[in-house]
């Protein structure tokens, strides 16, 4: 248990794991839901159930708007990004299919794909990113065969913060007819994404990271043009609709939303999405602010901290991975934590990305900055690192 004085001194640089703090409106909307709304969305014909349904719909609509999707029912509400990636990957791929992915993926993509391969059901090809952490669209194109049904790409590396050229990769997928699934766990809310413009069929996102909602929220957003019946549901059960039948409804979003939703969480997520919409310049401006802070950190740490090393030539987002010569990443993150600075060390659930960037198995320390971090906090962290050395 933390004392409130300790919490006040805390510097949070672990926004890639989950964003913190959340905008105050997120918390009050969740409290309002728990104290006033209370009902189960889409289940019963009473006022509290209707109010809960409206809360969920607001989150759906804001999410669809953020990603340029015209039908809000195509924002399928789930529990995290892993949930969304599993629905798309396991729902689309059939025995004998081939999938293409990259060497910068998080385990939430790699594990479902390799599990299907291990079971002998599909073949997976991995496009290797270059030393800059980028995957060329031509490399993906070379791996696509007539059996390729799905291409999965992590938009922003959760370790190195590198950004993949998704619009150009999407163009390659459009040409081949393979479905294009983007893991936007680290980019949603920090980069302007438009499914139609960027040639994306399916977008998996977490509600609790850049979208500033609470844990237990995530979504699979399906583009207006994608035939959603290509995805088989993974969960079957009660939806509040077609209660006279034992068959799963075949319409969106119910086909993929069996069981009670995290309605309190979605009340919070709606407020996180409103915060982003109201931020001058929106998601792109939030991302710019985070990148400026990260670039400032790298510049001053390179000057002030002996043995400080990063792994990419430039800073593209608010996420930066680094090491200091002679200290393990776990030791370093531990020392920072003792001084109230929260970071993450090790392999960040992304062994493929670390192998690609030659930081496997030692790993590194990751600072992932959010829009509530400040230059003053960066200065304190640089001093703390210099003191550790
Ligand atoms: C790139 C990437 N994909 C997927 C995930 C999984 O997200 P979640 O924890 O919401 O399932 C993460 C989590 O850090 C991530 O960084």
Looking at the domain assignment, is residue 178 inside a domain?
Answer: yes
Average pLDDT, the chain: 95
Tell whether the model's pLDDT for residue 361 goes beyond 90. Answer: yes
Give 237-275 pLDDT, tens digit per residue: 999 899 899 999 999 999 999 999 999 999 999 999 999
| 317 CB within 6 A, ligand 1 | no
Q: Are residues 177 and 312 in the same domain?
A: no
pLDDT at residue 304 is higher than 70: yes
- Identify whether residues 226 and 171 lie together within a single domain: yes
The pLDDT-based confidence of 8 (bands split at 50, 70, 90) is low
Residue that the structure tokens 């409130």 belong to: 4
Same domain (yes/no): 291, 266: no
Q: Is the pLDDT of residue 145 over 80?
A: yes
Ramachandran angles phi, psi of 139, nearest 5°: -70, -40
Which of 1-5, 6-10, 142-146, 197-201 is predicted least confidently? 1-5
For residues 44 and 184, state if they share a domain.
yes
240 plus 314 within the same structural domain: no
227/215 Cα distance (integer angstroms): 29
Residue 214 lies in a domain: yes
Residue 221 corresponds to which tokens in the numbers above? 């957003």
Asked if residue 193 is part of any domain, the answer here is: yes
* Residue 185 in domain: yes
Instruction: Note whether 116 and 150 are same-domain residues.
Output: yes
Distance between CA 134 and CA 157 in Å, rounded?
10
| Count of residues making up the chain | 389
Could you list the residue range(s) of the whole structural domain that residue 166 is in?
Answer: 26-278
**Confidence bin at 7 (pLDDT 50/70/90):** low
C-alpha of residue 108 to centroid of ligand 1, in Å: 6
CA–CA dist 362, 358 (Å, integer) = 9
Q: What is the mean pLDDT of residues 221-231?
A: 98
Atom 12, ligand 1: residue with shortest CA distance: 185
What is the number of other CB atoms lying within 10 angstroms of the CB of residue 189? Answer: 28
Does residue 196 sit in the same domain as residue 217?
yes
d(CA 96, CA 77): 29
How many A from CA of 169 to the centre of ligand 1?
21
Orientation angle between helical segments 81-92 and 107-118, nearest 10 degrees: 30
Closest-lying ligand 1 atom to the alpha carbon of residue 183: 3
Q: Is the pLDDT of residue 192 over 60?
A: yes
Q: Does ligand 1 lie within 6 Å of residue 183's CB atom?
A: yes
Q: Are residues 258 and 296 in the same domain?
A: no
The model's pLDDT over 316-332, given as tens digits with 9 standing for 90+, comes to 999 999 999 999 999 99
Please report which confidence band the pLDDT of residue 197 belongs to, taking 50, 70 and 90 as the band edges.
Answer: very high
Q: Over 80: is that where the pLDDT of 5 sits?
A: no
70 in the same domain as 31:
yes
Q: Examine residue 1 and state whether it is found in any structural domain, yes or no.
A: no
Is residue 24 scored above 90 in pLDDT? yes
Q: Of 257, 278, 299, which residue is a domain's last? A: 278
* Percent of the residues in the chain that have a pLDDT greater than 90, as a whole number: 92
* Burial (CB count within 10 angstroms: exposed 0-12, middle 13-18, buried 19+), residue 243: exposed
Mutate to test the pocket of ligand 1, among 87, 206, 272, 348 (most ligand atoms within 8 A of CB): 206
In this structure, is residue 261 part of a structural domain? yes
**pLDDT tens per residue across span 63-100:** 999 999 999 999 999 999 999 999 999 999 999 999 99
Residue 187 and residue 184: Cα distance in Å, rounded? 5
Q: What does the alpha-carbon distance between residue 212 and residue 187 come to, in Å, rounded to a whole number? A: 12
Q: Are 67 and 203 in contact (CB under 8 A)?
A: yes
CATH number at residue 191: 3.40.640.10
pLDDT exceeds cutoff 80 at 9: no
Co-location of 241 and 289 in the same domain: no
The domain spanning residue 376 has which CATH number?
A: 3.90.1150.10
- Where among 232, 260, 278 does a domain terminate? 278
Helix/strand/coil (H/E/C) assignment for every residue in the chain: CCCHHHHHCCEECECCCCCCCCCHHHHHHHHHHHHHHCCCCCCCCCHHHHHHHHHHHHHHHHHHHHCCCCCHHHEEEECCHHHHHHHHHHHHCCCCEEEEEECCCCHHHHHHHHHHHHCCCEEEEEECCCCCCCCCHHHHHHHCCCCEEEEEEECECCCCCCECCHHHHHHHHHHHCCEEEEECCCCECCECCCCCCCCCCEEEEECCCCCCCCCCCEEEEECCCCCHHHCCCCCCCCCCCCCCCCCCCCCCCHHHCCCCCCHHHHHHHHHHHHHHHHCCCHHHHHHHHHHHHHHHHHHHHHHHCCCEEECCCCCCCCEEEEEECCCCHHHHHHHHHHCCEECEEECCCCHHHHHHCCCCCCCEEEEECCCCCCHHHHHHHHHHHHHHC
Instruction: Say if 21 falls within a structural domain.
Output: no
Count of domains forming the chain: 2
User: In angstroms, what is the span from residue 93 Cα to ligand 1's centroid?
Assistant: 21
CA of 383 to the centre of ligand 1 (A): 30
Task: Tell which one of 83, 110, 160, 186 to mutate to probe ligand 1, the residue whose CB is within 8 A of the most ligand atoms.
Answer: 186
> Which of 278, 309, 331 is where one domain is finished?
278
Pair 317, 273 in one domain: no
Q: Which pLDDT score is estimated for 1?
A: 45
Please name the residue that has the structure tokens 């065969």: 145
Q: Tell me, in angstroms, the distance from the centre of ligand 1 to residue 360's CA.
A: 19
333 and 214 within one domain: no
Tell me the sheet residues that pair with 344: 366
Q: Report the percentage of the chain scoring pLDDT > 70.
A: 98
What is the residue whose two structure tokens read 């608010």? 318
User: Residues 6 or more apart from 183 whose CB is under 8 A from it?
Assistant: 81, 85, 105, 106, 108, 109, 152, 153, 154, 155, 204
> Does pLDDT of 44 surpass 90?
no
What average pLDDT does the segment 220-243 reach? 96
């Amino acid at each position: 248990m933390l004392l409130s004085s300790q919490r006040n001194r805390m510097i949070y640089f672990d926004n890639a794991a989950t964003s913190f703090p959340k905008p105050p409106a997120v918390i009050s909307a969740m409290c309002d839901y728990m104290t006033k709304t209370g009902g189960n969305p889409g289940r019963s014909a009473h006022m509290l159930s209707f109010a809960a349904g409206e809360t969920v719909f607001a989150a759906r609509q804001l999410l669809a708007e953020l990603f340029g999707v015209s039908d809000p029912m195509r924002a399928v509400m789930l529990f995290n990004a892993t949930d969304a990636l599993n629905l798309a990957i396991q729902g689309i791929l059939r025995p004998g299919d081939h999938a293409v992915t990259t060497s910068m993926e998080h385990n939430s993509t790699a594990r479902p794909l390799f599990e299907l391969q291990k079971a002998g059901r599909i073949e997976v090809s991995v496009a290797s990113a270059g030393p800059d952490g980028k995957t060329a669209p031509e490399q993906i194109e070379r791996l696509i065969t007539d059996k390729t049904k799905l291409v999965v790409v992590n938009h922003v590396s959760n370790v190195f913060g590198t950004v993949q050229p998704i619009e150009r990769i999407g163009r390659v997928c459009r040409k081949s007819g393979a479905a294009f699934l983007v893991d936007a766990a680290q980019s949603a809310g920090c980069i302007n994404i438009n499914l139609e413009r960027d040639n994306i069929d399916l977008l998996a996102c977490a509600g609790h990271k850049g979208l500033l909602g609470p844990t237990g929220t995530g979504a699979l957003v399906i583009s207006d043009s994608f035939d959603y019946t290509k995805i088989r549901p993974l969960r079957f059960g009660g939806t509040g609709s077609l209660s006279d039948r034992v068959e799963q409804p075949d319409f969106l979003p119910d086909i993929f939303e069996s069981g009670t939703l995290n309605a309190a969480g979605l009340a919070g997520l709606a407020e996180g999405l409103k915060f982003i919409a109201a931020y001058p310049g929106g998601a792109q401006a939030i991302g710019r602010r985070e990148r400026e802070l990260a670039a400032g950190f790298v510049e001053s740490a390179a000057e002030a901290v002996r043995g400080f090393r990063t792994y990419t030539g430039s800073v593209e987002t608010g996420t930066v991975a680094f090491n200091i010569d002679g200290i393990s990443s776990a030791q370093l993150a531990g020392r920072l934590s003792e001084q109230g600075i929260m970071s993450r060390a090790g392999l960040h659930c992304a062994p493929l990305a670390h192998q690609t960037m030659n930081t496997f198995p030692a790993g590194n320390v990751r600072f992932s900055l959010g829009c509530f971090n400040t230059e003053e906090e960066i200065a304190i962290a640089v001093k703390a690192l210099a003191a550790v050395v």
